[in-house]
A and B are shown apart, each in its own frame.
Chain A
């Protein structure tokens, strides 16, 4: 097998106390009753390590919503995986944090919605900001790697400097400035969320200055949002190349949005060995090599770097998962993105819609 998975993204639940307007989880979420039990996850972790996976990212939804989280962390460590918790922090306190660290948690990534409380709570659709600020202090007091993640968009991008200053004083080692990914619920709210070109230009300057100033103290991860880039993002570093996602019910996906693509039969880790899904399933092989590529990808020098971009985005925007990602300036369907950008850059305030939690 040419490809070795390095990371397993385990979405252990879709339940979440936050209702972020930019949630990129699928529109159709898994209910609590469909969630994999503890022992199935533990078996999955061992199979994943066996396949070559190094890192386990526990995410959701809100992973803290699962009462067996500590057990899962311990089991992942026992399987020799690097344990990363991606969390909103809601459901965490000092004792539970100690328990998780004791069980072997390596790294915690805490999300923030803004630097300003009222806006943060508005975007999250819940009052969680003050709690997150308190949690950051608790994390800093302990010896664990700490990343702050902030999702930026049209309505908060103007406060990026304040967000960076907050991260600087929070004791985090890393700050991830993430753009909204326009899948799932977020795509519905895209026109209210995508920043304008002018906003982005200022952001790039802010980030560059902050990186220089904070060198050696805070690492800042930032990439241009793909709508404004010339070429697409190397989505998942290639379909079925390095990563796999398992949803709360056990379905194994090449990326977490892949369910939107019609005609793919996603197998479940409940009744198939992970290795056979990774190596042999039609889903993982569908866009793995270059044989699916249309022109201009097929003869493009960049095809080994960006793999034709994102298959889900190609389907969502162009209606064809096997098309060149429309964000690519070379794509025949790029006008779709240009029109969206024209629309967004020429308009004023728009409203969004909140999502509700699965039962």
Chain B
């Protein structure tokens, strides 16, 4: 897994989309099945709109979860996005 540059802009790859919000579980539907998103996973993926840079996504989440540890947010968001990119679920714009 390679590092994700703070300037990289991501979006869902073709054939990958979030299930409808408000259901019992948060999922990314992909050609071979579905990936389960935990905790704020859904919100993070929703922010990957093909316009925001990863750095901006991290900033936005820090604002939303202001009581959480900022370093931890940065590490965890970076890890999730890099994992989804390596899996082919997110693509760089």
Q: Which residues does A use to contact B, with CB under 8 Å?
A: 6-7, 54-55, 80, 82, 84, 106-107, 109, 143-147, 173-174, 216, 219, 221
Contacts and interface: CB of A to CB of B under 8 A. Distances in A.
Contact of A107 (B19, B20, B31, B88): B31
Contact of B14 (A84, A143, A221): A143
Query: For the complex, would chain A's binding face be called helix, strand, loop or mixed by DSSP majority?
Result: strand
B86 A107 contact: no
A143 to B, nearest CB: 5
Given A173-B88, A216-B86, A219-B88, A144 B15 contact: yes
Interface in B4-62: 13-17, 19-20, 27, 29-34
B86 A84 contact: no
A6 B29 contact: no
Nearest to B85: A216
B29 A221 contact: no
A6 B34 contact: yes
Given A80-B20, A173-B88, A216-B86, A55 B14 contact: no
A143 B15 CA distance: 9
Given A54-B27, A216-B88, 16 more contacts: A55-B33, A80-B20, A82-B34, A106-B15, A106-B31, A107-B31, A144-B14, A145-B14, A145-B15, A145-B30, A147-B31, A173-B14, A173-B31, A174-B31, A216-B86, A219-B88
Nearest to B19: A54
A214 B17 CA distance: 24
Contacts of B31: 84, 106-107, 109, 145, 147, 173-174
B67 to A, nearest CB: 34
A1 B32 CA distance: 24
A221 B31 CA distance: 12
Contacts of B88: 173, 216, 219
B14 A82 contact: no
Contacts of B29: 54-55, 82, 106
A233 to B, nearest CB: 16
B24 to A, nearest CB: 9
